[in-house]
């Protein structure tokens, strides 16, 4: 693959001879066209494609909020593409079929880790619960920010960003979140997120 930067050629699309012209992240790219391609279409390939489709659909459902998840916007790809990449990191391919297990992956970016714990087992039916440490918050005013959470249903492959019940603030150090319609409590993983903190910092959003 080559980058086409010649101002005489300018931006090119389509194909010519054995070359294909396109753009990637705003750059002109020239690629060699394969002579032939035979898709084995194995069951493993089908499973991986199906799961990738689910992940892209998940990311698309919160596409309008994707940029807000990053303290610093990705420099190598759009925020949406980075979100797809991060969700894909939660796929376990060690078994016979890929399994989506997002616990431990990071969504978006951030520099403040509040040591969040998923304590949903103690929450009431239909509720999810997170607890965290407020000590790392830079300023006291950050404790007044409303707690929000990323909720991921690992089975139905759904994701949502919801506000804490009763608009709980970060300073309270725990909050419950109502399960969105179509989500199942037993299948849900959580990550704490909120508005940007003082000085432009943001929370590290690790799925628990």
Q: At 61, which CATH number?
A: 2.60.40.10
Residues 151 and 87 in one domain: yes
Report yes or no on 38 lying in a domain.
no
Angle in degrees, 0-180, between the axes of helices 43-61 and 79-88, rounded to the nearest 10? 130
List, in sequence order, every residue forming a beta bridge with 118; answer none if it has no partner.
130
The terminus-to-terminus CA distance of the chain in angstroms comes to 39
Residues 27 and 47 in one domain: no
Domain assignment of residue 10, given as a range: 2-32
pLDDT band at 196 (very low <50, low <70, confident <90, very high): confident
Residues 152 and 191 in one domain: yes
Instruction: Take residue 112 and report the two structure tokens written for it.
Output: 């403040």
3-class secondary structure per residue, the chain = CEECCCCCCCCCCEEECCEEEEEECCEEEEEECCCCCCCCCCHHHHHHHHHHHHHHHHHHHCHHHCHHHCCCCCCCCCHHHHHHHHHHCCEECCCCCCEECCCCCEECCCCECCCCEECHHHCCCCEEEEECCCCCCCCHHHHHCECEEEEEECCCCEEEEEECHHHCEHHHCEEEEECCCCCCHHHEEEEEECCCCHHHCCECEECC
Report yes or no on 37 lying in a domain.
no
Q: How many domains does the chain fold into?
A: 2
Q: Which of 130 and 42 is assigned the larger pLDDT?
A: 130
Residues 111 and 26 in one domain: no
Q: Which of 28 and 43 is assigned the larger pLDDT?
A: 43
> Per residue in 89-108, pLDDT tens?
999 999 888 999 999 999 99
> Per residue in 128-186, pLDDT tens?
999 999 999 988 899 999 999 999 999 999 999 999 998 899 999 999 999 999 999 99
């Amino acid at each position: 693959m080559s980058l086409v930067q010649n101002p005489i050629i300018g931006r090119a699309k389509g194909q010519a001879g054995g070359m294909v012209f396109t753009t990637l992240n705003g750059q002109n790219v020239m690629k060699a066209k394969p002579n032939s391609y035979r898709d084995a279409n194995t069951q493993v390939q089908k499973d991986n494609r199906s799961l990738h489709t689910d992940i892209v659909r998940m990311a698309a459902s919160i596409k309008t909020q994707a940029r807000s998840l990053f303290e610093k916007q990705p420099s190598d790809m759009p925020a949406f593409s980075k979100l797809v990449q991060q969700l894909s990191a939660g796929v376990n391919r060690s078994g016979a079929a890929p399994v989506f297990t997002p616990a431990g992956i990071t969504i978006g970016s951030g520099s403040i880790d509040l040591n969040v714990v998923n304590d949903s087992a103690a929450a009431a039916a239909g509720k999810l619960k997170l607890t965290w440490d407020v000590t790392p918050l830079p300023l006291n005013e950050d404790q007044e920010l409303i707690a929000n959470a990323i909720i991921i249903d690992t089975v139905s492959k759904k994701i949502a960003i919801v506000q804490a019940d009763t608009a709980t603030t970060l300073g309270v150090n725990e909050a419950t979140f109502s399960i969105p319609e179509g989500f199942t409590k037993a299948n849900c993983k959580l990550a704490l997120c909120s508005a940007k903190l003082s000085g432009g910092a943001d929370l590290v959003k690790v799925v628990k």
